């Protein structure tokens, strides 16, 4: 029988044939056991109740000193713990105290990662209760440094690594992951980590960090989150020469080889987890980011955080800022430094919002938006040589090389930095913005802090306290002439956790741009009078779970309206429903 099959298959695998005949086990066969033939291997999963030593070593269930007397008896923990029984609150106090002893941010990051590996609920309790203090530790800016040094500080693997070595076996690799039910994947190929460039396999810090925010900020259960790094090599010579580098030591695969691996990955994910797993692309280089989004947005539930998430957050800040600046979006003129994923993604969403609010056609709306890239202002005479995602922004104007000259020529009311290059909003640029506008809106979005186009202090002092400022990475409040300015953090972290929750809770199968607009409106409406008085156009992160519930509700409402939601009937109160879906990190009692 087997030899007949092999003859019949002409060398193709039995799985291929099964696929073609449409008899594959498909998504229901999550272990691949039905579809495997006798000569194919499957994973021998076992499930058992954790107890004793293994319970203490299981981060999902470990509670450390918080195991009660009864639990210590029932779960064979006697003697494995010292006599004292602590509350989670006391544990939290202790860990926060210990963390604050570390002066070096990277040590805090490592301590937090160790905690996540040791006691997951305590990790999330800390992150949720101390979000303003800990966000810069597990996320930008520290996560950037962690990725740069990832090999050196590597202890235990986190997430799933899919490299060129796994070509042809990606489905099996997915089955190696211990959780079977996955709702969100954040995936990177490490080619453009924040504004730090190609960090190859060490980009893993980003999916891990983003997903910890999915849980802490958006309330998505940790067990349904899967961080993935696709390793196709790196062109970063420093890493290739680094003996501690953890990735493939080869130059990046490109072209067909790259596309095939990604195609196998996308198919395997859908096959293994079904239609409703959200795949968030993160920190891919421009060319791949745009292509992957265009290629998969009609067949998969995909979301590019750098193009779409950043756009939604920045648009929210712009909508909110109208209370301070006056006018409508269509009355403003926007100038970007940087015409990559973030720049063009934001530009497109601003134009879309203008068309939704007015009768202005998209082509006209785009004319209010100008972009500068490394070669200068994007103008129509350059159109032939422009990458396709820049072409819509090539307006009629004479060539301008420098940003400062573009500011003087275009006279923007809003200046947005998405260049990935630090210190590019010079004193001259900020002063020019301030001379053109009573309240210049300046956003320095590049991450981490070292790549910010200018600092909060520079924006306020150079504009003599007139600028409204927001940045991608956080800055401390700034004192200027007796006033305290608190800047907002225009980071996609405001939106993606709530956005993802909205999609998951409604069973939405595709991302639609109108859902991004809904998220922007929801976030903008959370800015209070008190925030405006301090000069901020984003709410503080302290209330982020409440904000995420609102974003989730608005995104879900839009999905239902568009007929893209599959969870029926639609809950009548979506905010309440979102809140009820959210993970809480309090310990549970064990029977």
Residue ranges binding ligand OAA (CB under 6 A): 140, 194, 283, 305-306, 447, 472, 491-492
Question: Least separation, in Å, of the C-beta of 445 and ligand OAA?
Answer: 8
x/- letters, 293..312, toward Mg ion (CB under 5 A): -------------x------
Report helix angle 513-524 to 341-357, nearest 10. Answer: 80
- Of 568, 588, 583, the C-alpha closest to 501 is 583
Q: Is 304 annotated to bind ligand?
A: no
| C-beta separation of 478 from 505 below 8 A | no
Residue 538 or 560: which CB sits closer to Mg ion? Answer: 538
Stretch that binds Mg ion, among 97-105, 161-169, 281-289, 346-354 (CB under 5 A): 281-289
Pick one of ligand OAA, Mg ion, none as the site partner of residue 198 (Cβ within 5 to 8 A by kind). none
| C-beta separation of 534 from 485 below 8 A | yes
Q: Which of 61, 109, 139, 538 is catalytic?
A: 139
Question: Least separation, in Å, of the C-beta of 511 and Mg ion?
Answer: 16
Q: Is 58 annotated to bind ligand?
A: no
- Of 472, 476, 468, the C-alpha closest to 445 is 472
| C-beta separation of 219 from 582 below 8 A | yes
Pick one of ligand OAA, Mg ion, none as the site partner of residue 236 (Cβ within 5 to 8 A by kind). none
- Of 372, 338, 332, the C-alpha closest to 350 is 332
CA-based Rg of the chain, rounded to a whole angstrom?
25
| C-beta separation of 474 from 445 below 8 A | no
The reply to whether 353 sits near Mg ion by the rule CB under 5 A is no
**SS3 (DSSP) at 228:** strand
Pick one of ligand OAA, Mg ion, none as the site partner of residue 158 (Cβ within 5 to 8 A by kind). none
| Interacting residue with Mg ion among 191, 231, 283, 531 (CB under 5 A) | 283
Residue 447 or 506: which CB sits closer to Mg ion? Answer: 447
Question: Least separation, in Å, of the C-beta of 136 and ligand OAA?
Answer: 10
Q: Whole-angstrom Cα distance, residue 425 to residue 488?
A: 17
Residue 341 or 521: which CB sits closer to ligand OAA? Answer: 341
Residue 91 or 491: which CB sits closer to ligand OAA? Answer: 491
- Of 215, 211, 418, the C-alpha closest to 311 is 418
DSSP 379: B
DSSP 450: G
CB-based burial of residue 570 (10 Å sphere; 0-12 exposed, 13-18 middle, 19+ buried)?
middle
| Dmax (CA) of the chain | 86
Cα 57–Cα 58–Cα 63 angle in degrees, nearest 5: 85
Using CA atoms in the order 102, 103, 108, 109, what is the torsion angle rounded to 10 degrees?
A: -160
Q: Is 283 annotated to bind ligand?
A: yes
Residue 145 or 282: which CB sits closer to Mg ion? Answer: 282
Residue 166 or 282: which CB sits closer to Mg ion? Answer: 282
Active site includes 139? yes
| C-beta separation of 162 from 229 below 8 A | yes
Question: Least separation, in Å, of the C-beta of 144 and ligand OAA?
Answer: 8
Pick one of ligand OAA, Mg ion, none as the site partner of residue 491 (Cβ within 5 to 8 A by kind). ligand OAA
Q: Is 29 annotated to bind ligand?
A: no
Q: Which of 125, 149, 210, 390 is catalytic?
A: 210
Q: Is 306 annotated to bind ligand?
A: yes
Question: Least separation, in Å, of the C-beta of 291 and Mg ion?
Answer: 17
Active site includes 210? yes
Contact residues for Mg ion, defined by CB under 5 A: 282-283, 306
Q: Name the binding residues for (S)-malate.
A: 192, 447, 491
Q: Name the binding residues.
A: 192, 282-283, 306, 447, 491
Q: Name the binding residues for a divalent metal cation.
A: 282-283, 306
Catalytic site residues? 139, 210
């Amino acid at each position: 029988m087997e030899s007949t099959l092999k003859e019949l298959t002409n060398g193709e695998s039995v799985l291929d044939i099964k696929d073609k005949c449409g008899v594959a086990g498909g998504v229901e066969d999550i272990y691949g056991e039905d579809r495997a033939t006798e000569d194919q291997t499957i994973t021998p999963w076992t499930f058992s109740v954790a107890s004793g030593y293994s319970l203490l070593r299981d981060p999902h269930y470990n509670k450390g000193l918080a195991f009660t007397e009864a639990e210590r008896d029932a779960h064979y923990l006697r003697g494995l713990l010292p006599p004292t029984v602590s509350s989670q609150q006391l544990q939290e106090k202790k860990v926060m105290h210990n963390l604050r002893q570390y002066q070096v941010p990277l040590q805090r990051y490592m301590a937090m990662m160790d905690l996540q590996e040791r006691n997951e609920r305590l990790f999330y309790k800390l992150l949720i209760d101390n979000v303003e203090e800990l966000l810069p530790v597990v996320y930008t800016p520290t996560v950037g440094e962690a990725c740069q040094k990832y090999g050196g500080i590597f202890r235990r693997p986190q997430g799933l690594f899919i490299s060129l070595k796994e070509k042809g076996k990606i489905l099996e690799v997915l089955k190696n992951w211990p959780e079977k039910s996955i709702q969100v994947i954040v995936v990177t190929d490490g080619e453009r980590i924040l504004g730090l460039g190609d960090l190859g396999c060490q980009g893993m810090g980003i999916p891990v960090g983003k997903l910890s925010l999915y849980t802490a900020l958006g309330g998505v259960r940790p067990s349904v989150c899967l961080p993935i790094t696709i390793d196709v090599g790196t062109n970063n010579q420093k890493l290739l020469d680094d003996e501690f580098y953890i990735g493939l030591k080869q130059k990046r695969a490109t072209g067909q080889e790259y596309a095939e691996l990604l195609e196998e990955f996308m198919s395997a994910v859908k096959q293994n987890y079904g239609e409703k797993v959200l795949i968030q692309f993160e920190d891919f280089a421009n060319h791949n980011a745009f292509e992957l989004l265009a290629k998969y947005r009609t067949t998969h539930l995909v979301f590019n955080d750098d193009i779409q998430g950043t756009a939604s957050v920045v648009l929210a800040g712009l909508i909110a800022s109208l209370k301070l600046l006056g006018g409508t979006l269509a009355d403003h003129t926007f100038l970007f430094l940087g015409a990559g994923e973030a720049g063009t993604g934001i530009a497109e969403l601003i134009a879309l919002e203008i068309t939704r609010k007015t009768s202005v056609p998209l082509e006209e709306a785009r004319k209010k938006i100008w972009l500068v890239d490394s070669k200068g202002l994007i103008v129509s005479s350059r159109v032939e040589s422009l990458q396709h995602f820049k072409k819509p922004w090539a307006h009629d104007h004479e060539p301008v090389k420098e940003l400062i000259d573009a500011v003087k020529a275009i006279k923007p009311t809003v200046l947005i930095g998405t260049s990935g290059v630090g210190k590019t909003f010079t004193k001259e640029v900020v002063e020019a913005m301030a001379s053109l506008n009573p309240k210049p809106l300046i956003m320095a979005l590049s991450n981490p802090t070292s790549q910010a186009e200018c600092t909060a202090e520079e924006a306020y002092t150079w504009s003599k306290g007139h600028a409204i400022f927001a940045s991608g990475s956080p800055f401390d409040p700034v004192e200027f002439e007796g006033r305290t300015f608190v800047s907002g953090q225009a980071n996609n972290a405001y939106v993606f956790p709530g956005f993802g929750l909205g999609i998951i809770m409604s069973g939405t199968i595709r991302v639609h741009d109108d859902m991004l607009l809904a998220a922007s409106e929801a976030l903008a409406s959370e800015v209070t009078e008190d925030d405006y008085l301090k000069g901020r156009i984003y709410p503080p992160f302290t209330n982020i779970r409440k904000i995420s519930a609102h974003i989730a509700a608005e995104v879900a409402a839009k999905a239902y309206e568009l007929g893209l939601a599959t969870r029926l009937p639609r809950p009548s109160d979506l905010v309440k429903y979102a809140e009820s879906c959210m993970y809480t990190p309090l310990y549970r009692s064990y029977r």
